[in-house]
Amino acid sequence: MEHSFAPLQNDLIVRAAWGKKVERPPIWVMRQAGRYLPEYHEAKGNKDFFECCRTPEIASTLTLQPIERYAGLIDAAIIFSDILVIPQAMGMTVEMVDKKGPHFPNPLTSPDDGQYREVMDRHCDVSKELDYVYKAITMTRTKLNGRVPLIGFCGAPWTLFCYMTEGGGTKLFKESKTWIYKYPEETKALLQKIAELCVEYLALQVKAGAQLIQVFDSWAGELSPAAFKKFSEPYLAYISQHLPGRLKEYGLEPVPMIVFPKGAWYSLDSVSNLGYNVVGLDWLHDPAEAVKVIGDRPVVIQGNADPGVLYGSHAAITEAVKNMVDGFGWHERKSGWICNLGHGITPFVNPEDLKFFFQEVHRLTK
């Protein structure tokens, strides 16, 4: 089924992501639909998190909340969902525990554990299993009515692998490190399987109406440069190399692809060669240094203010914006930068302070 949606009134982020010169840098923030917004808690009530993801009416309402609150200041929506829907589609149980985060009651313990074989052997049909995401995307595009583009996303294979083996968030990465250093071949087989599902999942999100896509490698920085080369980068590359072809098979035009290898600052040079149009930077990068590393390659940077600055004073926020505007050479280049935080916005931020951040980006890039 082909959809027809209202034409975009604001396509700034799409043009910027393709490397074009633009009148001002586009802005959005990771996790912009979420816990810092009082209207999020109101709409979510005490409904289960994944139930909200699975209900297109609710997911689209939550996606639109920051677009409505920050109308005229913000340049993209990101579909309300979670990276962990892929492990769910692969047959694993994932619960979202209030105030704690995701929990897998039965994580993958070792290659001999029957569950690993089950996950590996099971045919996973993301067109069927994740149909609710595509429905939410299509409904959101209709409700957006062309206001701003909609971003689709998935978790990177390495990051999803961490959750599938750890069973939730972790500081130690004991299980995932045991896997990569004890069972590298079985690890790679699973990473490859996840990468293939990511390609299909992203293609179907675009088919449903997503206009850019982002791959979140939130745990990239837990790997050494050598381990990143083995266990993350090849699978990020698989996604960027196969998605355009898959879109073509569906009769769809390519969309800009964003990769966010959080914490893997050492990988910027090689990640810039993977075929992604945009590389997301966390706040450990100095903007001017990152611009130098990318050099004349056609790669756009997304980022990278410390989300923690939003707990600070307005003067501190202004300074953080100035640092990006100057460091990314905005006034000289007028291209190559999508403004964002260096990671997701955190709970307890005052939404008025995020508004001030947006206003400062607009003011200082005039």
171: DSSP letter: S
Helix segments in the chain, DSSP class H = 12-17, 38-44, 49-54, 56-69, 85-89, 114-121, 126-129, 131-144, 157-166, 174-182, 184-208, 225-231, 233-249, 268-271, 287-294, 314-327, 330-333, 351-364
Task: Tell me how far apart the alpha carbons of residues 347 and 335 are, in angstroms, rounded to a whole number.
Answer: 31
CB-CB contact of 289 with 331 (8 Å): no
Report, in Å, the least distance between residue 288 CB and ligand 1CP.
25
Nearest residue (CB) to ligand 1CP, 84 versus 119: 84
> Helix 184-208 and helix 233-249: axis angle, to 10°?
30
Report 125-164 residues binding ligand 1CP (CB under 6 A).
153
> Per-residue x/- mask for ligand 1CP, residues 158 to 177, rule CB under 6 A?
-----------x--------
Question: Which of 25, 26, 87, 102 is close enough to bind ligand 1CP by CB under 6 A?
Answer: 102
Residues in Cβ contact with 320 at an 8 Å cutoff, skipping those fewer than 6 apart: 305, 306, 309, 357
* 302 interacts with ligand 1CP by CB under 6 A: no
Report, in Å, the least distance between residue 70 CB and ligand 1CP.
12
Question: Which of 34, 152, 157, 167 is close enough to bind ligand 1CP by CB under 6 A?
Answer: 34
* 30 interacts with ligand 1CP by CB under 6 A: yes
Number of residues that bind ligand 1CP (CB under 6 A): 21
Nearest residue (CB) to ligand 1CP, 67 versus 190: 67
* 38 interacts with ligand 1CP by CB under 6 A: no
Question: Which of 32, 187, 211, 340 is close enough to bind ligand 1CP by CB under 6 A?
Answer: 32
Per the structure block, which two tokens stand in for 74?
């913000």
- Interface with ligand 1CP by CB under 6 A: which range of 29-37, 113-121, 129-137, 326-334? 29-37
Find the residue with minimal CB distance to ligand 1CP: 169
- Interface with ligand 1CP by CB under 6 A: which range of 13-21, 82-90, 242-250, 299-307? 82-90
AA identity, residue 203: A
Q: Cis (ω within 30 of 0) for the bond into 304?
A: yes
AA identity, residue 304: N
Would you put residue 251 in left (φ > 0), alpha (ψ -120 to 50) or beta?
left
Q: Which of 166, 158, 125, 164 is nearest to 235 (CA)?
A: 158
Question: Which of 96, 120, 293, 364 is close enough to bind ligand 1CP by CB under 6 A?
Answer: 96
Nearest residue (CB) to ligand 1CP, 219 versus 328: 219
* 31 interacts with ligand 1CP by CB under 6 A: yes
CA distances from 124 to 23, 142, 197 (A): 44, 29, 8
Burial 58-68 (b: 16+ CB within 10 A, else e): bbbbbbbbbbe
Question: Which of 14, 17, 22, 33 is close enough to bind ligand 1CP by CB under 6 A?
Answer: 33
- Interface with ligand 1CP by CB under 6 A: which range of 74-82, 87-95, 271-279, 354-362? 74-82
Query: Where does this chain bind ligand 1CP (CB under 6 A)?
Result: 30-35, 49, 78, 80-84, 96, 101-102, 153, 169, 216, 218, 344
